[in-house]
Structures are given as structure tokens and as C-alpha cells.
Chain A
């Protein structure tokens, strides 16, 4: 915890970094000073360092051992170098989970949430206020309810006997989670996550000058032409931002576990579930460390792309 501020802070500030004192005098008016500021930052950094940064680095080490949750390799793990990495790269279940994750991310986030979110934001702009509020509230509700509750709501809805979907589609006895497991979790994730895209796009659309839309209308542009030539150039940055963020989140989403736990077989074993099954269910910790590293690397690439894009946008 930070030391209690005392009566000589202003001079501390000046003494620590005299070259910057002119600038500090305008901002650090409370006279915290560098030393005390470091104490203020320390508790948060300590937590982040221990429970966020350190685990990330540790995966590197774990991945290069044959560590297991129980048994002799738990007591005396051996250093195995890059063995885990080479065997992950030649493991069919790894490529299966990669492929499942790719399908899951592309269909549920990039196409599903993105498309539906934009459609909702675009079409709800001009409808009656109450209709708009209601639809928005429903979409948001799907987003904010706890994940284990919504997972069960979908299990109930897709249930073979008496589930609402079978009743509505008049397909009694259809076992959606067995016959179409991947499609089921894709639709589920569209339902679950569209709210973010909808909100982001409705904020983005409000930045399109209404006069441009009116001009397009006067010039006789169709809806599709207006979208392509007037709206899209304005919100291109937002589309990229949104796509990258929801890709990153969906890539790391553990939600499918709550509905299918990866099954049947390994048909819905997205990266997060594959990692869980390898590490916690099977106890093969060293091997799973190598998988963690792959996931971390993918995240780094996505996050850096995102940062770069933001910088490019703020530069223009």
C-alpha cells in the first residue's frame, strides 16, 4: 500500500526530476512526486505481474517440460526442449481444434455478429422509438446474462424432447446438439454476442452526416448503393475495429464448453476447450503449455494488428 502523503511532497517532486519540473508543476499539482506515484501504481502492477504477466511467461517453460498433473512426471518433470511444440504441430487433434475454431470465429463472429449487428443498427435507426428500445433491450439481455444461464437456456431450447425449436419447426425428436453441434454453437454465439456489434455500429452510424444520406436519396441511390458509397467509407475504420475485437474475443471464448463440452467426439472442440480438455481433464500439463503458447501468439498477432490499425487511423 502507498505510504501516507506527508507535508513535503512538492519539493520531492522537484528534486526527483528537475528537467521535467516545469511540466510536472502543471500536472502533478497535488505534489505526489515520482516516488509516491510509483507506490500508487505498485499494488495494481504487483497483481498484474503475478497473476497475468508471470503465467504468460510461465507457459513458455511449462511447454518445454513433460509436466503432468499427477504421477512421476508431476514430481520430477523433465526438460524436453521443443518436443511438445513439434508434437503439437503434428497432432491431428490440434488441427481439428484449429479448424473448428476457424469455422466458429468466421461464421459466428466475422459474418454472424458483424452482419446482424450492422443490420440491426442500420434498420433500427428509423423505426418507432418503442420498437427500437424493445429490440435493443432483447439483444442486450442476451449479452449481459451470465454465461452458464444462457448456455442452459439454449440446452433447454434445443432439447430433443419438448425443446422449443423442435416445437416451432415441427421436427419432433431432432437432436440438434448431436447432429449439428457446430452449427448450434455458432447460432448460439451469434445470439449471445451481437449486442456489442450493434452498439458499436449504431454509434458509428451516427457519425455519418445526415446531409450525405439525403443527397444520396435525392440522387436516387438505392439502399445498397447508399450503403456502399456513402455509409461504408465513413465507418470503414469501425468495421475493422469491430471485426478484430470480436474475432479476438470469440477466438478465446470458453462459452461452447458450457453447451457441448467439445463433443460429441471433438466436433465442437474449439481452441479454448481443447486446451481445457488436454490440461485439466487429461492432466497433460506440459503438452497443454505448448497449446497455450500457440493461443497466446495468435492473440499477440491480433492485438498488434489492432493497435497498428488504431494508430494508422489516428494518424490520418
Chain B
């Protein structure tokens, strides 16, 4: 019995450990005069007006949306084409390529490559076109896509490998053109895989701090991840009403996506972990 009580108190303590930092995120945005302390708010929605008044807040969220959509488009299209071809066709050197990709995806991180990435993007921007250089959303999308693509290709290749080729075969037998088979048979079959990759990419890009922090210097171009840090490190007292409300708005999409995914697919590893 004592063991049972001890067990539940430890569980409660751990739950509290995980819950306490999050309380501020719920209480402060609705507090008329937020402080660092978590307190029962004097409820108001006035803080959301400060967001509208801040010249950077909403644009930065829009920048995050742009980066997320653009990167997701690159990753989904690039990974879908590559995963299908790698799954169905024995390109010479395929296994070596897959091995290299797997290795690259874990070895070359934004951290290890931040210097050459910064240099590369500045040089390309100066030499070819500013749209590929520093302060360009497009360049950030390309860099983030390349970091996510290896893992995305692997995830999607698993999906494609799981589809029996006989589906495509019968469509071919009935005279469908290769393009039609891809469009009407393959794409609908791998839609759950494409959805997974999309959500995974969006969540990754939404939270990514390092890449936009290094590659975007112009405050008008920075996404929410970078603005968030600017808001609390700039000189003087940080505006807590703004920070709290902005944190909540910025977090909400990820939380909603999590709820959606966990409801639809169950947010856990199923059965045997792939190894």
C-alpha cells in the first residue's frame, strides 16, 4: 500500500515537472498585467490587440507560414518522385545511394554545417541572383528541404514498398499510360505517406530556429521562431503581454496539428520499432 502511494506521488511529481513550465503559456496571455509568475489571470483579451499593434508579430507568423508551405512543397514533391523511383527501379548504385543518404541525414546537421551553409548561400546570392542568397525565403526553403529530404525519402519509400506492384500492373494491362498509373493509382495509395511527410515537415520548419537565424538578417523576413527570441533578448524590459500572447499564437498550430495527427493516426510508435 505504501508502495502504491509512493508510486502515485512520484507520478504526480513528474506530471507536475512537465506541466509547470506550460502553465505560464496558458495563464499569461489572458492576464491584464502579466508577470513572470504564474497566477490566476485577471481575464482580458486586450493582449491580443498588442499583437496587432506590433509591426513584426503578424508578418513573422506569415513568414513562418510561407517557409513551411514552400519547404513542404519541395520536400513532398522531391521525396515522392525519388522514393517511388528508388522503390520500383533498380538504379545502378541504388543501395550505396540509400546508405549514403541515411548516413548524411544523421551526420550533417544544421549545427555542423552552419558555417559552410552561411558562406554557400552568401556566395550563391552574390554570384547568381539575390533570390538564392542571404535574406531570401527561397534560399531558406532550399536549405531546410535538403536537410529534411533524406529522412523524408526513407519514410516515403517504406510506404511505396508496402504497396503491391500488382495494382500498377493491372492498370497497365488495361492499357493505362504510365502517367495515368502514377496519377490515378500510385498517388492515391501513398496519400497517407504524403500526409505524414507534410505534417512532419511543417512541424520541423515551424520550430526551426537555427537556419532562418543564420540566413535571414532582415527583420521583415524573419519567421516567428527568430522574432520570438528577438522579443525577449532586446534591450530593456521585455514586453511580457506581447511575448505571452505571441508564444501562444505561435504554438497553437503545432498543438492543433498534434491533436489532429494523434486523433487520426495515433501518436505513438506501433508494434515493433523498425530496425
**Which residues in A have some Cβ–Cβ distance to B below 8 Å?**
2, 4-5, 7, 9, 13, 17, 20, 23-24, 26-34, 36-38, 40-41, 43-45, 47-48, 50-56, 58-59, 62, 116, 119-120, 123-124, 127, 131, 134-135, 138-142, 144-157, 159, 161-164, 167-168, 191, 199-200, 202-204, 206-207, 237-238, 241, 248, 252-254, 258, 271-272, 275-276, 279-280, 285, 288-289, 292, 295-296, 299-300, 302-304, 306-307, 310, 313-314
Contact of A51 among B90, B143, B166, B169 (CB under 8 A): B143
Considering the chains assembled together, what is the distance between the CA atoms of A20 and B92 in angstroms? 11
Could you mark each residue 232-268 of chain B with 1 if its beta carbon is under 8 Å from any beta carbon of chain A, else 0?
Answer: 1000000000010001001100110010000000011
Taking a contact as CB atoms under 8 Å apart, the answer to whether A5 and B146 are in contact is no
Q: Which of B47-55, B177-185, B190-198 contacts A (4 or more CB under 8 A)?
A: B177-185
Considering the chains assembled together, what is the distance between the CA atoms of A53 and B105 in angstroms? 10
Q: Which residues of A lie under 8 Å from residue B21 when comparing CB positions? A: 142, 150, 153-154, 157, 164, 191
Taking a contact as CB atoms under 8 Å apart, the answer to whether A28 and B89 are in contact is yes
Query: With contacts A54-B120, A56-B108 known, is A32 near B272, CB below 8 A?
Result: no
Taking a contact as CB atoms under 8 Å apart, the answer to whether B107 and A303 are in contact is yes
Query: With contacts A5-B182, A41-B86 known, is A146 near B228, CB below 8 A?
Result: yes
Considering the chains assembled together, what is the distance between the CA atoms of A203 and B24 in angstroms? 32
Q: List 14 A-B contacts (CB under 8 A).
A: A32-B85, A32-B178, A41-B97, A44-B82, A51-B120, A52-B113, A55-B116, A123-B10, A141-B22, A148-B207, A152-B228, A164-B23, A207-B272, A313-B275
Chain B, 96-126, CB within 8 A of any chain A CB:
97, 101-104, 106-120
Which among B90, B206, B270 has the highest number of chain A CB atoms within 10 Å?
A: B90
Known: A28-B90, A142-B22. 9 other contacts (CB 8 A): A17-B90, A51-B117, A55-B116, A140-B267, A147-B209, A148-B228, A279-B114, A289-B116, A299-B112
Considering the chains assembled together, what is the distance between the CA atoms of A199 and B271 in angstroms? 11
Contact of B273 among A116, A203, A272, A306 (CB under 8 A): A203
| Min CB gap A11→B, angstroms | 12
B interface, by DSSP: helix, strand, loop or mixed?
helix
| Min CB gap B162→A, angstroms | 13
| Min CB gap A86→B, angstroms | 19
| Min CB gap A48→B, angstroms | 5
Interface size in chain B (residues, C-beta < 8 A):
100
CB of B127 within 8 Å of the partner chain: no
Query: With contacts A30-B178, A254-B110 known, is A148 near B18, CB below 8 A?
Result: no
Query: With contacts A127-B11, A153-B24, A162-B35 known, is A191 near B18, CB below 8 A?
Result: yes
Considering the chains assembled together, what is the distance between the CA atoms of A125 and B178 in angstroms? 49
Considering the chains assembled together, what is the distance between the CA atoms of A24 and B90 in angstroms? 7
Taking a contact as CB atoms under 8 Å apart, the answer to whether A135 and B232 are in contact is no
Q: Which residues of B lie under 8 Å from residue A52 when comparing CB positions? A: 104, 108, 113, 146-147, 150
Residue pairs across A and B with CB atoms within 8 Å: the count is 309
Q: Which residues of B lie under 8 Å from residue A135 when comparing CB positions? A: 11, 14-15, 18
Taking a contact as CB atoms under 8 Å apart, the answer to whether A44 and B269 are in contact is no
Taking a contact as CB atoms under 8 Å apart, the answer to whether A200 and B273 are in contact is yes
Contact of B81 among A41, A161, A275 (CB under 8 A): A41
Q: Which residues of A lie under 8 Å from residue B169 when comparing CB positions? A: 29
CB of B84 within 8 Å of the partner chain: yes
Taking a contact as CB atoms under 8 Å apart, the answer to whether A275 and B78 are in contact is no
| Min CB gap B220→A, angstroms | 18
Contact of B165 among A29, A155, A168 (CB under 8 A): A29
Minimum-distance CB pairs A-B, first 6? A55-B116, A40-B85, A51-B146, A37-B89, A44-B78, A203-B269
Considering the chains assembled together, what is the distance between the CA atoms of A146 and B165 in angstroms? 40
Taking a contact as CB atoms under 8 Å apart, the answer to whether B114 and A275 are in contact is yes
Taking a contact as CB atoms under 8 Å apart, the answer to whether A292 and B113 are in contact is yes
Taking a contact as CB atoms under 8 Å apart, the answer to whether A254 and B106 are in contact is no
Taking a contact as CB atoms under 8 Å apart, the answer to whether B114 and A276 are in contact is yes
**Which residues in B have some Cβ–Cβ distance to A below 8 Å?**
7, 10-11, 14-15, 17-25, 28, 35-38, 74, 77-79, 81-82, 84-92, 97, 101-104, 106-120, 142-143, 145-147, 149-150, 153, 165-166, 168-169, 172, 177-179, 181-182, 186, 203, 206-207, 209-210, 214, 224-226, 228-229, 232, 243, 247, 250-251, 254-255, 258, 267-273, 275
Considering the chains assembled together, what is the distance between the CA atoms of A240 and B146 in angstroms? 28
Considering the chains assembled together, what is the distance between the CA atoms of A203 and B273 in angstroms? 7
Q: Which residues of A lie under 8 Å from residue B19 when comparing CB positions? A: 138
Q: Which residues of B lie under 8 Å from residue A279 when comparing CB positions? A: 114-115, 118
Taking a contact as CB atoms under 8 Å apart, the answer to whether B117 and A55 are in contact is yes
Query: With contacts A31-B178, A56-B108, A191-B17 known, is A146 near B251, CB below 8 A?
Result: yes
Considering the chains assembled together, what is the distance between the CA atoms of A4 and B11 in angstroms? 58
Query: With contacts A55-B120, A254-B111 known, is A48 near B150, CB below 8 A?
Result: yes
Taking a contact as CB atoms under 8 Å apart, the answer to whether B119 and A62 are in contact is yes
Taking a contact as CB atoms under 8 Å apart, the answer to whether A252 and B38 are in contact is no
Q: Which residues of A lie under 8 Å from residue B143 when comparing CB positions? A: 51
Considering the chains assembled together, what is the distance between the CA atoms of A254 and B208 in angstroms? 10
Considering the chains assembled together, what is the distance between the CA atoms of A168 and B36 in angstroms? 13
Please name the residue on chain A nearest to B122 by beta carbon. A69
Contact of B104 among A53, A151, A271 (CB under 8 A): A53
Which among A13, A53, A161 has the highest number of chain B CB atoms within 10 Å?
A: A53
Considering the chains assembled together, what is the distance between the CA atoms of A154 and B91 in angstroms? 50
Query: With contacts A58-B119, A149-B251, A279-B114 known, is A163 near B36, CB below 8 A?
Result: yes
